[in-house]
Amino acid sequence: MLTAFLFVAGALVACVRPQQFDPSAYAAEDVIERDFAIIGGGAAGTYAAISLADQNKTFTVVEMTGRLGGHTRTFRDEATGASIDIGVQLHENIPIVRDFFKRLNSPLAAFKPTDFGNPKYYDFTKKVALPNHTRPTIESDYVAVLNKYPFLDDLNNLPDNVPEELLLTWPDFAEKQNLSAASTEAGLLWPATPGNPLDTTALAIFNDGNHIELAEYAGAAVRSAAHYNSQIYDNALAELKEHVLLKSSIIAAQRGSSRKDGVRLIAETPSGRKLIKAKQLIIAMPPVLDNVKYFALDQQEHSILSKLSGKHYYAGVVNNTGLEAGVAYTNVGQNTPYHVASLPGVVEIAGSASPGYFFYWYNSVDPQTQAEIEEATRCTIKWLQSESGTEAVEPTFQDFADYSPFHLSPSTSDVADGWYGKMKGLQGHRNTWYISSLFVVGSTQVWNNTRNILPEIIDAARS
Ligand SMILES: Cc1cc2nc3c(=O)[nH]c(=O)nc-3n(C[C@H](O)[C@H](O)[C@H](O)COP(=O)(O)OP(=O)(O)OC[C@H]3O[C@@H](n4cnc5c(N)ncnc54)[C@H](O)[C@@H]3O)c2cc1C
């Protein structure tokens, strides 16, 4: 009875009549029957789709944007030959990465730290150059904590009783553990980390800066040879295009409680509404309430997923900057705790392998518009021009990406209350599985986790 109510409630959210889950309400070509429905075509969704294709399983990917790749994004200008990765930069040099790039015909090259450019430090907020600033590196005391708590690499393995010290903010943890000054500051500097690092828990810092990140920093990292990390996703789309609904989203869902019920989803697509009948549903988009509210959540699902939120992070490509090639203009705080850059603001403006083009990252606690971010970035570039005495040219913005909601997590008190275990307990509930980056941060690990859980998902579709 409760299930029936929830189905109807789900339908009402999206103004869909219950009979619209009936295939007879659709033209035959608008009813898609598959083993799996994958919602979201980023790192997790594309990895799952290619793996299922290779096992002769049937699936449909429903992706909101006009491309696959999610946070992996490459700005490409055919006219100039420019190719600039603005999101994902590198992967750990391990078999799963090499195999996936090979499978999708995308050559790899070794990643060198200088691919980001040689860093020069400034306080962009105070408008001060800091020529004597040096970046600290992680020391053995940091690694000792990671080794002591191996579950930090992948929060799938987090115990229900989370050690209290890991729920302290990073500065409090560092003080309590008497961490070295270098490790304390370096722990706040993992790349592409949204929000205020001073408010971030030690758990989240270590989950981000985990053994994989350390291995990558130690040199075990690769990138697309052509600075085109999106190539794997573009090639995946070319191969799978008849199984991918782009610019599409789910507007209503029925998910049965027994395996034989499967799921029925209504997708709004550029060629009209489609009914998707699948044995199992794979959620590969951020499962925040805004996205999953159309899936007729039951009470258990709602109470878990409603606790999840993401942070804000942005990136873009700019040329005609007048800035020096091969330099990563990096924002640090002159007098802030641990030299943390003030927010909101540009994190860095880094030279790329394409002459004249720079990519920038931008961090803000609160959401900002593209216009606000580009104006703030323009002001920073204009100041850097005057500071370094280069020509005062007008920057041209070429691309922009909003990565919100990024670094999904529940509140600290919900972590203490066993949220990760409860989330893990949702796997397979009502024929629904979650493979996006909830338990790990980097896409290398997202692929690993997707590979690990797929046999269970495939098995569920058999029953
Ligand atoms: C600036 C930046 C740099 C990074 N650098 C690296 C790096 O160098 N190495 C690394 O390993 N990782 C890096 N990461 C992390 C990496 O991007 C993530 O680990 C990975 O993208 C997570 O994969 P995902 O599939 O969970 O999410 P995503 O890749 O974001 O994919 C989610 C997909 O779901 C789609 N979607 C969202 N809502 C809906 C909806 N309602 N309906 C349908 N589809 C929807 C999105 O459009 C997207 O395609 C970086 C991230 C950022 C932002």
What is the distance in A from the centroid of ligand 1 to the CA of 172? 30
Residue 2 has what pLDDT? 40
Interval 325-336: pLDDT, tens: 999 999 999 999
CATH of 27-71+228-309+409-461, one of 3.40.710.10, 3.40.980.10, 3.30.70.1520, 3.50.50.60: 3.50.50.60
Q: Which atom of ligand 1 is nearest to the CA of 441?
A: 19
Cα separation, 338 vs 187, in Å, equals 10
Pocket test for ligand 1, best of 249, 282, 285, 292 (most atoms within 8 A of CB): 285
Q: Which atom of ligand 1 is nearest to the CA of 41?
A: 49
Residue 5 has what pLDDT? 35
Which residues in 67-154 belong to E strands, given as ranges? Answer: 74-77, 82-85, 91-92, 108-110, 118-123, 128-129
Q: Which atom of ligand 1 is nearest to the CA of 45?
A: 25
Q: Which atom of ligand 1 is nearest to the CA of 46?
A: 25
For ligand 1, say whether the CB of 252 is within 6 Å of any of its atoms. Answer: no
CA 403 to the chain's CA centroid: 7
What is the distance in A from the centroid of ligand 1 to the CA of 15? 29
Closest CA to 348 of 178, 187, 119: 119
Neighbours of 153 (CB within 10 A): 20
pTM: 0.96
| H runs (alpha helix) in 293-336 | 299-305
For ligand 1, say whether the CB of 229 is within 6 Å of any of its atoms. Answer: no
Q: How many residues does the chain have?
A: 463
What is the distance in A from the centroid of ligand 1 to the CA of 40? 9
Residue 14 has what pLDDT? 52
Which residues in 385-453 belong to E strands, given as ranges? Answer: 396-402, 406-409, 432-434
Closest CA to 408 of 434, 433, 428, 432: 434
Cα separation, 458 vs 87, in Å, equals 31
What is the distance in A from the centroid of ligand 1 to the CA of 39? 13
Residue 113 has what pLDDT? 79
Show Cβ contacts of residue 204 under 8 Å, excluding neighbours closer than 6 positions.
407, 409
CA 188 to the chain's CA centroid: 19
For ligand 1, say whether the CB of 39 is within 6 Å of any of its atoms. Answer: yes
The residues that bridge with 118 in the sheet, in sequence order, are 327
Q: Which atom of ligand 1 is nearest to the CA of 68?
A: 49
Cβ pair 377, 362 in contact under 8 A = yes
What is the distance in A from the centroid of ligand 1 to the CA of 258? 31
The residues that bridge with 403 in the sheet, in sequence order, are none
Please give the single-letter amino acid code of residue 348: E
Structural tokens at position 136: 């600290």
Dihedral of alpha carbons 307, 456, 435, 207, sign: positive
Burial grade of 381 (CB within 10 A; 0-12, 13-18, 19 or more): buried
Which residues in 256-367 belong to E strands, given as ranges? Answer: 263-269, 272-283, 309-319, 327-331, 345-351, 358-364
43-54 helix and 231-240 helix, angle to the nearest 10 degrees:
50
Protein residue closest via CA to atom 40 of ligand 1: 64
What is the distance in A from the centroid of ligand 1 to the CA of 401? 11
Task: Give 198's DSSP letter.
Answer: G
What is the distance in A from the centroid of ligand 1 to the CA of 70? 4
Structural tokens at position 300: 């258990």
What is the distance in A from the centroid of ligand 1 to the CA of 72? 6
Show Cβ contacts of residue 47 under 8 Å, excluding neighbours closer than 6 positions.
100, 446, 447, 450, 451
Burial 184-212 (b: 16+ CB within 10 A, else e): bbbbbbbebbbbbbeebbbbbbbbbbbbb
For ligand 1, say whether the CB of 287 is within 6 Å of any of its atoms. Answer: no
Q: Which atom of ligand 1 is nearest to the CA of 65?
A: 47
Interval 330-384: pLDDT, tens: 999 999 999 999 999 999 999 999 999 999 999 999 999 999 999 999 999 999 9
What is the distance in A from the centroid of ligand 1 to the CA of 154? 17
Query: Domain boundaries in the chain?
Result: 27-71+228-309+409-461
Protein residue closest via CA to atom 30 of ligand 1: 70
The residues of the chain scoring below 50 in pLDDT are 1-12
